[in-house]
Chain A
């Protein structure tokens, strides 16, 4: 019975320990409140910008710890959050529109650790302060809007095919029913329409002497619509978030139709909500070719700049952005880059008519954005909004445009993709409601961290002392294993990029108690063997061997519960479940393998008469 670990095993364990240590250590370094500066569009952050920033800070007498030049911009580290906020405002007003100036919490992890990918754990809102929203996307309305658009289209198609029908109506909750006078018409109708509406399932039925054709959107099509709506909402939100000046906002999908948005570190919920609720929108306007572009601006038109030239646009919008339900980059029939656009939700008939009347004339797509700035007026913070409009595309109308058309002649594929993106983000895809909101003040965040750390520390010390007294040397070995367990837990959480919440810290406290369990099982077994007269070496061997299955069984059962909690929990509870799961697994490693390694080191290969295990 060899209580001996071969050298490679011991080296492996030391290696694991080293890795664990490296990835856990960043958490000790702390953060600096800082301001991150990056450039938008064509501008870059260069030495001139750096000089400007330095000057602004010097003029306003804002002390800063360091100014770093990074690959994607500048980072200015401040000493406290007050100066950080003042600094952000000062820099923003100095640099102007083309730069994004964002608040950030930059960790002080030294570069060599960062290179290895070692970062501190992310802190949840309850530990950091900030704002969290849960948004519900109204898929229902979106589907209804899509159906409305399709109804109009159906009418057009049926008319063109000269098919008579008695009535056409939408039914609740979803679906379209067309009544025909006879079977032949109905069959023809179905044949005609299946060509143009592949997303629908057609059912024929008769009722009250009428032949009815029912159209219901296919499940998969509904899912696509829902998915698309959520993806778009998330993209739009992510694009907006930069404006808020928070660079670590988290936009995530939750479930079928919810999106969760986290803004760590900011306090102004009003502004956050505005950014979320607002949308940019699009307008399609005719180019005013009747008037001279360089003369006086006539009534009913406005002058815009586009690619260096002036363009006059008629004020009236022939199509609003919220009619766009889908836009994607594609290739037109002649193989050139194009953007396929689909409409729904109203406005298509007018659009159709106007485009029919203006074939051959240019039409512009205008992007309208509402920007909000914060100004301090008379000591109070005010939100001032203004609208910005710019032309994103000018194209010639080739034919009367219905609810599905292409914008061609776009030049490059990249341009087509960008335009599609713009069309999508400009479109009001689906209404969002805020169904959950959580705000935590910054001082509370710090207080929570302290509470968490104290609980962990006190619990840990109690257990450590007890084990040392009750199990003597073996108890001390357990204490070392407990400490290693904490290190591994922190390391894995840091590597996974998991978020630590207050319940997560509770989970860490709990894991200390549960981790001890494994060792108690082993030691009690060793004690039993010793009482039965078995030799020390054999007792150790038997103790570990016999207790192993029990430990695994017991831990797996708790693991099942932790996983259920993870799957069905949300937010803070999920954080708790993650910590518990990770803690259970690392505790199995440290309690069994690491303690065995130390025990082997101390007792293996030696002629021991007595084990210092408390009996």
Chain B
């Protein structure tokens, strides 16, 4: 059974200018969304308290807000969480009250609600997590860049890293655009997407290297085109399968994993696109040629008597 003709001959490289423009515009949009809307940082990064309550019947939000206001929590954010019977109350850190007091007072204020989960994070811990998160992204990118430069060639490494950076920025942009909450597990998804997209990119590069060795006469553009085409069916299929798996997570995994699933889905789609178009195109722009991959060729010729 085959989805793709095994002889696809899409001229991906010819479209590279369009692809890069497209990516560039998306990136600008994302950066714009991030600047304008800001990222809706979850509790893990801001600090504060988050209490999850469930009711017997769907609660009236207006009433809930009133009850909280009367109890003195004027800055509480009330939102639906998962099913219609669940409510999430978010509070900023309160200096005067201990967490225990906070929890019991809120619980008392809300009549008929059953406390399911409490999360309290001090502001310092939040800051540390943000720092660590950013550090993690940088380390991941650096580590993979070094690895690719080591296994392939530095032009590959640089283009891979640029296409890798492009993925998380787009994900964050979409999160900012739709004001989706970005928490620690979303960050984990971001890093996983980097790894996953890298996976794709390396498969393509590996094929490129092989084709350069096999096809003595072809130009860089031709080789890249062929390589992408050859790996196309595999790339699309794996993306499809992983997407299915993450969709299952989105549907059945519950509210706590929502940030993760969404980030992964966006990431897989964008990652596939970037592996097909961006990575190869960038390599060509950087002037990738046969001689970079097979330095031994020339030496051999020169030594012939």
Contacts and interface: CB of A to CB of B under 8 A. Distances in A.
A576 B147 contact: no
B136 interface: yes
A558 interface: yes
A554 B203 contact: yes
B257 A517 contact: no
B252 A553 contact: no
Contacts of B133: 568
B125 A436 contact: yes
A269 B202 contact: no
Interface string A558-570: 1111101101111
A454 B252 contact: yes
B136 A455 contact: no
Contact of B188 (A452, A549, A576): A576
Interface string A442-483: 011001100110110011001100100111100000000000
Nearest to A134: B125
Nearest to B194: A561
Interface in B140-191: 140, 143-144, 147-148, 151, 184-185, 187-188, 191
B234 interface: yes
B144 A560 contact: yes
B256 A502 contact: yes
Contact of A447 (B139, B234, B237, B254): B254
Contact of B202 (A134, A553, A572, A580): A553
B268 to A, nearest CB: 9
B248 A573 contact: no
B59 interface: no
B249 A516 contact: no
A569 B188 contact: yes
A584 B276 CA distance: 24
Nearest to B123: A435
Measured as residues with beta carbon below 8 angstroms from the partner, the interface class of chain A is 35 or more
Contacts of A454: 252
**Most-contacted residue by chain B among A126, A527, A576 (CB, 10 A):** A576
A571 B183 CA distance: 13
B199 A557 contact: yes
Given A439-B118, A561-B144, A509 B195 contact: no
B246 A513 contact: yes
Interface in A515-558: 516-517, 520-521, 524, 527-528, 531, 549-550, 553-558
A513 B241 contact: yes
A568 B124 CA distance: 16
B209 to A, nearest CB: 10
Given A436-B120, A470-B1, A557 B129 contact: no
Nearest to A525: B234
B206 A557 contact: no
B198 A554 contact: yes
Q: When A and B form their complex, which 6 residue pairs have the shortest distance between CB atoms, in order from nearest?
A: A435-B122, A513-B242, A561-B195, A558-B195, A459-B245, A459-B248
13 contacts: A136-B122, A436-B122, A444-B52, A458-B252, A463-B241, A470-B237, A503-B188, A510-B246, A550-B202, A560-B147, A561-B192, A565-B188, A568-B132
Interface of A: 126, 134, 136, 269-270, 273, 433-441, 443-444, 447-448, 451-452, 454-455, 458-459, 462-463, 466, 469-472, 502-503, 506, 509-510, 512-514, 516-517, 520-521, 524, 527-528, 531, 549-550, 553-562, 564-565, 567-573, 576-577, 580, 614-615
